Amino acid sequence: MRVQMLGLCRFSYVGLRGYKVEHGSYDERREYLYRSDRLARRWQWFTRVALPAWRAQTDPDFTLVIMTGPDLPEPYLTRLQDLAAEMTQIKLSLVPPMERHLQACRAAVAPHVDADADVIGHFRHDDDDAVAIDYIKATRRDFRRVKALWKSEGKLSLDYSRGIMAAVGQGGIELTPRICHNMGVALTVFLPADAPETALSYDHSKIGLWMPGVAITRPLMFLRAIHADSDSGAMGPGTPWQLGAEQVTRQLWQRFRLRRADLDELACEY
């Protein structure tokens, strides 16, 4: 059974829906998203937090669609084009502003669906979060273990729940290990190849309304950033788990190819 792993990452996409922070017009949204200081910070988080683990995936067979607008200010549009040229797994999709966000997401993803795939593992990825370097490999392996459930339902979510919350505060960055279910990051939605939906079609916090789900609580699989530019600044419900300071530093590198000093430096930008 051919499983395509297909992700969508929105990079300052100007659309009126699909975000918790709302604006009344495209101009208001564009002004907010394209502010020079905000774009500079988003680029730093994207390249220094999100990208390292995607570059280091132990299974390189995945596609990550970067969705942005055709009028994204320079130098960021050229930088994304250069990144897509350099890294074969990254596809850049320039989508004009659309009021209906789910249609925009589908327009970004649809050209990259593998027609030969039996199942699409859709995932969403925020441009300031990180998944572990074995996320793709582990997802394929664990789907094989539960694919009978997918066959009976036609839809299935697979949630890696163990993560680290990286919250930026006045004192710098605070790293809190938590088990949080269906956060969106490291959550895969398995659908038939001809399904019109993407991972963004479902509210991740209510995904059980539409499909059965399997939660896998180890190993550590995601880092979620919470800061002033986040669409949602809440940590959300979860269960703490213990990880010493030295262990955190080691796990950041081993699981995400991140260094604590880089996170501290990013936190200083706020």
Q: What is the mean pLDDT of residues 155-165?
A: 97
pLDDT digits (tens, 9 = 90+) for 114-123: 989 999 999 9
Q: Could you identify the residue written with the tokens 């896998």?
A: 216
Res. 193 pLDDT band, cuts 50 70 90: very high
Look at residue 229 in the predicted model and tell me its pLDDT: 73
CA-CA distance, 81 to 182, in Å (whole number)? Answer: 31
pLDDT digits (tens, 9 = 90+) for 32-43: 999 999 999 999
Domains defined along the chain, listed by start: 3-267 (3.90.550)
Res. 24 pLDDT band, cuts 50 70 90: low
Lowest mean pLDDT among 22-26, 132-136, 170-174, 192-196: 22-26
**For residue 169, is pLDDT > 90?**
no
What predicted TM-score, i.e. pTM, was given to this entire model?
A: 0.93
Q: What is the mean pLDDT of residues 74-89?
A: 98
**For residue 172, is pLDDT > 90?**
no
The β-bridge partners of 162 are 179
Q: Could you identify the residue written with the tokens 């998944």?
A: 131
Res. 131 pLDDT band, cuts 50 70 90: very high
**For residue 197, is pLDDT > 60?**
yes
**For residue 160, is pLDDT > 80?**
yes
Res. 228 pLDDT band, cuts 50 70 90: confident
Residue percentage of the chain with pLDDT more than 90: 80
Top pLDDT among 234 and 60 is at 60
Look at residue 233 in the predicted model and tell me its pLDDT: 59
Res. 231 pLDDT band, cuts 50 70 90: low
CA-CA distance, 33 to 38, in Å (whole number)? Answer: 7
Q: Please state, rounded to an integer, the average pLDDT across all residues of the chain.
A: 92
Query: For 62-136, where are the E strands, in sequence order?
Result: 63-68, 90-94, 119-124, 130-131
> What residues contact 255, with CB distance under 8 A and at least 6 apart?
53, 132, 133, 219, 220, 221
**For residue 62, is pLDDT > 60?**
yes
Bridge-based pairing state of the strands 222-226 and 130-131: antiparallel
